[in-house]
Structure 1
């Protein structure tokens, strides 16, 4: 008599391996991810089987999920669009980066180096909002006494702000179901864990599942959620890369070591523009907004220096004046160095080749160092012309004319290409007292538009070099 095969045990979890860079699943561990090609990025992940029609533990215990409607296909033109209502955080620079304020049900991931001020910024924000916007501050790294002590040192109003020292997601959601806050801050997502998984807190599976639970809660209840994330030594947010795909906005808090200035940058925002920039200054009473960031990015020196050129860059909706410095010196090496801080290194090498080919100026035997003052990173091509003018100024040991700014993209054939929002950049320069501007011809304004600013329009690199000599 043949014995029937035993049926597989229902609800038995299986182990998979997930790439921390791209989130691809693998049945077994291997050195290289087949999805993105990254090495040594696979981490163990316990996959829990889902039961059809059954609600998750958080849903059953917290009671925050209502009866869901069956999905159906709908013509997009019949969908009623409701404009996103925004709530001010009370911090103008944070509102700017978020796209005008905090949207109901939005999930925002804030990352940055240890001690950069992530917790301080969010504590200041929720303290200002808590009077009219009930908030719950969940801390998994500090005690409530430490959080209250920081708030006291910063002289923050705490009316309406509730605190919870907890790392279990189910417990957090259960308390949130009873309190019904409009805003939750989870500091940090790497400390959270869910009882449905056996992995340790901070593992790939725990971070991903815990964040997914909070995202689901935010969407179903309309509660805004801030998640604080640690960063790796490479500068990315620790944990699976899919974490950044799940949230609505990803903000990075940056700052040079030893500097009191902090920059908040948006790398993803479903409710606003990306690459928006907010500038803060760290003081005794916490982070303060910098209303005129152009002033901190300029050296403010009383004398002109060789190797310096001021450019007008654009971060999101804001034009900023930043100073580009270059140092050109004879190299003792057979292969001279090309160092770019705040700029892309490969683009610097390309610009130096264009300078030689179309400007007739060779720096092949020179070390070239280029730095953007203030720790800001310039990613747009408008920095091409200022970089070459700064290099020429340092090479000739001759400063540019006083109160001169420049911007423009330099092509491989030596042409000066226009950049977006040229007239707005010129108005910003005129506001700060600049008298002379070297810009692409297509960005030149009409005669008499900008009084007090002498605009020199150039078409070729040779024309720009001649204008600054």
Structure 2
């Protein structure tokens, strides 16, 4: 008899309880308040007890349902991407939806995940293909009302309000759709698996079953995933390993802008970004987002500068505005919106120390337009010149973009992807660009003016 299975008196031991961390998958025989692996608090959940095995287990050999195939004999057409009907989604995925792939879309509540995927199902059905949308969080009537409001009603778009995974598989067997959307994976329940829906065991089993379904039927599956308060995908980390693509749909509640970013992509790069706008009629894609971040610019106002930021590999024009006024209190205020709060005061300090501009006795309010969030250092020059423009009440030259990082010595440092940034500015009709010295750029229709220091950049705009 095995000592692992029997006590001294010969009685069988009670199976040990396993506690698994819902964040990283770490397991422990006893409950812990904090996970030793990832440091998360209160994430260890009890799983069903498993009896100890009496000795080594040998897997039985099974006859394969299909023989192994040489890789050169596999049909390459089976992996060709299929357009989803939404260009911004296809851009993030690579070039479209890969047959048999599993895509997990995460995001905060209310950001528009369900609305976007309902639009994907509608566009998919509009191309003559069958789509099945499974909702486990809402009733069929609620989803139908949203589809009517957003114009997503299509004959070949089927809707099922189910939370039982076996019933969902039955719908798939009957309809044989070419696209399956499950909203959401944390609310689905797999029969025969211990635990509540959304728990570690249930989430793992549901995702694994849907992944197997996608691979065996060559049907793409899109899953909606919840996120934690830290912005990570809720549930065990194994979910992200099981799926092929992990997307994050993000946006500020106070802004209509929504960004779709790739976190993991087995079929393409993860540095592409898709832009969408939340409207009363649903989600609409924004193929050219620069217009959202530029105010209606007639006569150029003072205290305003236009720069080009990079979001992944996508250049986006952004407007930085600065307002300097006499302080109300003895200590001047620094209010920053949409930019790095610690970097803006540094740029203002360089503007005073290296260029002689009095910024320490003024309240400075610096913000981006349109709710855009920019944290890269390439916007330093825009912050400095917008503040200079506000101090002197002198607008910058019209149709001018400024790009560059400002060093503590007042020098302008190079930024990555400068050529792509300047080309985007030229495409949108800008005629001048002030950039760090040392770059040799020739763009048709746009004059590039290099500047080695912040003082030289100010001299270029004050002519």
For the aligned pair, the TM-score class normalised by the smaller chain equals 0.7 to 0.9
Q: Distance in 2 between matches of 1:211 and 1:338?
A: 48
The answer to whether the 8 Å contact 1:14/1:47 transfers is yes
SS in 2 for 1:430: helix
The offset of 1:358, in angstroms, is 4.2
From 144, 149, 154, the equivalent of 1:148 is 144
- Report 1:432-451 matches (<5 A): 432-446=428-442, 449-451=443-445
Q: Distance in 1 between matches of 2:241 and 2:359?
A: 44
**In structure 2, do the counterparts of structure 1 residues 307 and 31 end up closer, same or farther at CA, with 3 Å as the change threshold?**
farther
**In structure 2, do the counterparts of structure 1 residues 158 and 297 end up closer, same or farther at CA, with 3 Å as the change threshold?**
same
- Report 1:256-405 matches (<5 A): 256-257=252-253, 259-329=255-325, 338-361=334-357, 363-364=359-360, 366-405=362-401
* Residue deviations 1:163-197 (CA, integer Å, cap 9, x gap): 22111223323433454433211111221122343
Q: What is the TM-score of this pair, normalised by structure 1?
A: 0.81
Q: Distance in 2 between matches of 1:127 and 1:24?
A: 40
Q: Does residue 100 of structure 2 align to residue 105 of structure 1?
A: yes
The answer for the alignment partner of 2:32 in structure 1 is 30
The offset of 1:104, in angstroms, is 1.7
Q: Does residue 2 of structure 2 align to residue 6 of structure 1?
A: no
**In structure 2, do the counterparts of structure 1 residues 354 and 105 end up closer, same or farther at CA, with 3 Å as the change threshold?**
farther
Q: Does residue 162 of structure 2 align to residue 159 of structure 1?
A: no
**In structure 2, do the counterparts of structure 1 residues 411 and 169 end up closer, same or farther at CA, with 3 Å as the change threshold?**
farther
Q: Distance in 2 between matches of 1:95 and 1:238?
A: 25
The offset of 1:98, in angstroms, is 1.8
The offset of 1:437, in angstroms, is 1.2
SS in 1 for 2:394: coil
The answer to whether the 8 Å contact 2:257/2:276 transfers is yes
From 210, 213, 218, the equivalent of 1:214 is 210
* Residue deviations 1:185-226 (CA, integer Å, cap 9, x gap): 111122112234332223344334322332333234332111
Q: Distance in 2 between matches of 1:68 and 1:337?
A: 71
Runs of 4+ in structure 1 off by over 6 angstroms are 50-55, 77-81
The answer for the alignment partner of 1:62 in structure 2 is none
- Report 1:29-48 matches (<5 A): 29-38=31-40, 40-46=41-47
**In structure 2, do the counterparts of structure 1 residues 234 and 148 end up closer, same or farther at CA, with 3 Å as the change threshold?**
same
Uncovered stretches (5+) of structure 2, i.e. residues with no partner: 1-6
Q: Distance in 1 between matches of 2:30 and 2:431?
A: 65
More displaced 10-residue stretch of structure 1: 257-266 or 459-468: 257-266
Q: Distance in 1 between matches of 2:142 and 2:203?
A: 24
**In structure 2, do the counterparts of structure 1 residues 78 and 103 end up closer, same or farther at CA, with 3 Å as the change threshold?**
closer
SS in 2 for 1:442: coil
From 86, 89, 95, the equivalent of 1:94 is 89
**In structure 2, do the counterparts of structure 1 residues 282 and 368 end up closer, same or farther at CA, with 3 Å as the change threshold?**
same
Q: Distance in 2 between matches of 1:353 and 1:398?
A: 20
- The number of aligned residues is 447
The answer to whether the 8 Å contact 1:306/1:398 transfers is yes
**In structure 2, do the counterparts of structure 1 residues 32 and 283 end up closer, same or farther at CA, with 3 Å as the change threshold?**
closer
C-alpha RMSD of the superposition: 3.6
- Report 1:199-278 matches (<5 A): 199-257=195-253, 259-278=255-274
* Residue deviations 1:9-33 (CA, integer Å, cap 9, x gap): 6xx573314053x443344333433
**In structure 2, do the counterparts of structure 1 residues 49 and 390 end up closer, same or farther at CA, with 3 Å as the change threshold?**
farther
Uncovered stretches (5+) of structure 1, i.e. residues with no partner: 56-65
The answer for the alignment partner of 1:63 in structure 2 is none
SS in 2 for 1:253: strand
* Residue deviations 1:287-346 (CA, integer Å, cap 9, x gap): 233343211210013232333211112334432211122334455668765444333333
The answer to whether the 8 Å contact 2:309/2:318 transfers is yes
Q: What is the TM-score of this pair, normalised by structure 2?
A: 0.82
Q: Distance in 2 between matches of 1:286 and 1:443?
A: 43
SS in 1 for 2:342: helix
Q: Does residue 400 of structure 2 align to residue 407 of structure 1?
A: no
**In structure 2, do the counterparts of structure 1 residues 370 and 24 end up closer, same or farther at CA, with 3 Å as the change threshold?**
farther
Q: Does residue 463 of structure 2 align to residue 462 of structure 1?
A: no
Q: Distance in 2 between matches of 1:152 and 1:400?
A: 47
The answer for the alignment partner of 1:421 in structure 2 is 417
**In structure 2, do the counterparts of structure 1 residues 129 and 41 end up closer, same or farther at CA, with 3 Å as the change threshold?**
same
